[in-house]
Amino acid sequence: MKHLTLAALGLALLLASCAPAAQEYTATLLAMDTVMELTAYGPEGEGALEEAQALIQELEGLMSATDPDSEIAALNRGQTVALSPPVRELLDQALELCGATDGALDITIYPVVRAWGFPNKQYQVPDPGALTQLLERVDYAQVALSGDTLTLPEGVELDLGAVAKGYAGDRMMELFRQSGVTCAYVNLGGNVQALGASPDGDPWRIGIQDPEGTSYLAVVEVTDRAVVTSGMYQRYFEQDGVRYGHILDPDTGYPADSALSSVTIVSPSGTLADGLSTALFVLGREGAEALWRARDDFDFVLVGQDGTVTISEGIEDGFALQGAGEDYNLEVVRR
């Protein structure tokens, strides 16, 4: 339900910024366990949206860890797999991000994700001893990509849930460009990615959801960017009054407890934005700032549980706290 709210919200903001005369095509589909809204403008839009939907279904069919017919499921069963180009490309990019975040992002976390019951929604708090044992199987450095086939070491299992939607966004932007679409916008359940500027030439105005409510707390203006949010509110369960979120700390096996409510990454790359939104949620404010200082390919919005919103200076222009966000304090991190 939250995904639907956010999708609707994104669309409302989008319409407010678009020229009424632009030819608009939209599609809504359920894929990758979320509601996806695709919008493309201009005469090429209709055909491009058809292809984009087929592309998402193809990527989901390859990458879903819960679909026994997927390439990832075959790898997780220990089979030797001739990697398809998309899986190969995403694994390459994701492993690099695992390294860049010093393992805060770790795509071999699946055994632990499963122990918490997130994939099948049979939630449970695992036994601490069992978690310790499962963590021995978690280490992205055990995945060695060379040649055209991959066999995972025994016990190692992949989960591309932290990066797959971001990659799908990148692939859709590429598809739109190749189809001659110059203006498009996709909302993949909280992963927003925009091609070009909005139809009237102004930047897109993207709403960032209030992690504590159903409305938004800020608006960020972007052109040609992915805007990807990770937060506990997107998936969690409660037991004995404790809330357990779906983003896990690979060091402990427990839900990340970094004093952040959500992390939004703004970047030209959807895969990078998706991987880093998850990783920075694990790393917390200091780790997030340190990584931002070491790189120049993303900006962030960190919503703290203490009521502070911290943004990096690259998105300062065009960023505004709004609605629920007016109760937060804004802090800008500079180089």
Nearest distance from residue 13's CB to ligand AMP, in Å?
21
Q: Per DSSP, what are the bridge partners of residue 230? A: 263
Write the interaction track for ligand AMP spanning residues 194-233; mark x where CB under 6 A is met and - where it is not: ------------------------------------x---
Nearest distance from residue 103's CB to ligand AMP, in Å?
8
Nearest distance from residue 178's CB to ligand AMP, in Å?
26
Of ligand AMP, Mg ion, none, which one does residue 7 interact with (CB within 5 to 8 Å by kind)? none
Handedness of CA 97, 181, 225, 12 (dihedral sign): negative
Write the interaction track for ligand AMP spanning residues 121-160; mark x where CB under 6 A is met and - where it is not: --------------------------------------x-
DSSP notation for 21-34:
TS-EEEEEEEETTE
Is residue 162 a contact point for Mg ion (CB under 5 A)? yes
Angle at 61 between CA 29 and CA 98, to 5 degrees: 100
Nearest distance from residue 169's CB to Mg ion, in Å?
11
Q: How many residues in the shown chain lie near ligand AMP by CB under 6 A?
A: 20
| SS (HEC) of 208-274 | EECCCCCCEEEEEEECCCEEEEEEHHHCEEEECCEEEECCECCCCCCECCCCEEEEEEEECCHHHHH
Write the interaction track for ligand AMP spanning residues 34-73; mark x where CB under 6 A is met and - where it is not: ----------------------------------------
Q: Residue holding tokens 């997107």?
A: 234
Is residue 278 a contact point for Mg ion (CB under 5 A)? yes
What are the backbone angles phi and psi of residue 201, rounded to the nearest 5°?
Answer: 90, -10
- Ramachandran area for residue 102 (φ above 0: left; ψ -120 to 50: alpha; else beta): left
How many CB atoms neighbour CB 100 within 10 A? 17
Q: Which region among 1-9, 34-42, 100-108, 265-273 touches ligand AMP (by CB under 6 A)?
A: 100-108
Closer CB to Mg ion, 268 or 323, in the complex: 268
Closer CB to ligand AMP, 3 or 41, in the complex: 3
Closer CB to Mg ion, 281 or 328, in the complex: 281
Is residue 161 a contact point for ligand AMP (CB under 6 A)? yes
Nearest distance from residue 104's CB to ligand AMP, in Å?
6
Using CA atoms, how far residue 251 sits from 42, 112, 132, 183, 234, in Å, is: 48, 11, 10, 41, 22
Closer CB to ligand AMP, 198 or 262, in the complex: 262
Angle at 116 between CA 110 and CA 122, to 5 degrees: 110
Using CA atoms, how far residue 211 sits from 6, 50, 188, 208, 239, in Å, is: 11, 33, 17, 9, 20
Helix axes 270-294, 85-100, angle to 10 degrees: 20
Q: Where in 229-288 is the site for ligand AMP (CB under 6 A)?
A: 230, 234-235, 246-248, 250, 274, 277-278, 282
Of Mg ion, ligand AMP, none, which one does residue 248 interact with (CB within 5 to 8 Å by kind)? ligand AMP
Q: CA torsion 287→293→298→300, rounded to 10°?
A: 50
Catalog residues that contact ligand AMP under the rule CB under 6 A.
105-107, 109, 113, 118, 159, 161-162, 230, 234-235, 246-248, 250, 274, 277-278, 282
Catalog residues that contact Mg ion under the rule CB under 5 A.
162, 274, 277-278
